[in-house]
Chains A and B, each alone.
Chain A
Amino acid sequence: KNEVEQSPQNLTAQEGEFITINCSYSVGISALHWLQQHPGGGIVSLFMLSSGKKKHGRLIATINIQEKHSSLHITASHPRDSAVYICAAWLSNQFYFGTGTSLTVIP
């Protein structure tokens, strides 16, 4: 069993919809990373957070350390948001990655 679980695995949304991607982890961590990977492209770091909430443009990431849960929200989704979103939990000096959520935003 993977230490980090993401849901859903695949998500299709209409342009403009509010999107939520969830990440749960089974171990105590000190930080959690949200990453974005575009088709055929590299990985971009979106957020690193250890508590509370962070916002960047239309992206919002929250984390609840007690519940071992984090969410990534995208407001007013756009086709260019289509990508794989990966959460990674930092534990014992390394990251443990979720399998990713493949998001497709349809115009």
Chain B
Amino acid sequence: EAGVTQFPSHSVIEKGQTVTLRCDPISGHDNLYWYRRVMGKEIKFLLHFVKESKQDESGMPNNRFLAERTGGTYSTLKVQPAELEDSGVYFCASSQKQQTGEADTQYFGPGTRLTVL
């Protein structure tokens, strides 16, 4: 069974440009999460999809970030326009259906390393 995949693995862009990150979860996983790790800091939650719906987007830093999961399969995270502080590693994770409030084993992708110059 294929794991969680992310594309691209690395992206280097200039301030003001747009970047779109993609995450393909494990097939059949309803839950999809986006996380970000800024250099030297802990991983931070960005948002959570259940199928195509945004369950929780409380971690999204501002309106320059837009996440979508059309059809409840893969997800994209767009940053427009990118700022220097957006640099970091963006992780995606997926898990099977869970009851509200319960944790489930999350399977992480390899991450996308974003560098904004």
- Which residues does A use to contact B, with CB under 8 Å? 2, 4, 30-31, 33, 35, 41-45, 48, 50, 86, 88, 90, 93-100
Contacts and interface: CB of A to CB of B under 8 A. Distances in A.
A50 B103 CA distance: 9
A23 B93 CA distance: 22
B13 to A, nearest CB: 20
Contacts of B93: 43
A48 B110 CA distance: 19
Given A93-B100, A93-B101, A94-B56, A33 B42 contact: no
Contacts, number: 60
Interface residues of B, number: 27
A41 B110 contact: yes
B50 to A, nearest CB: 10
A48 B42 contact: no
Contact of A94 (B48, B104, B109): B48
Interface string B90-101: 010100000011
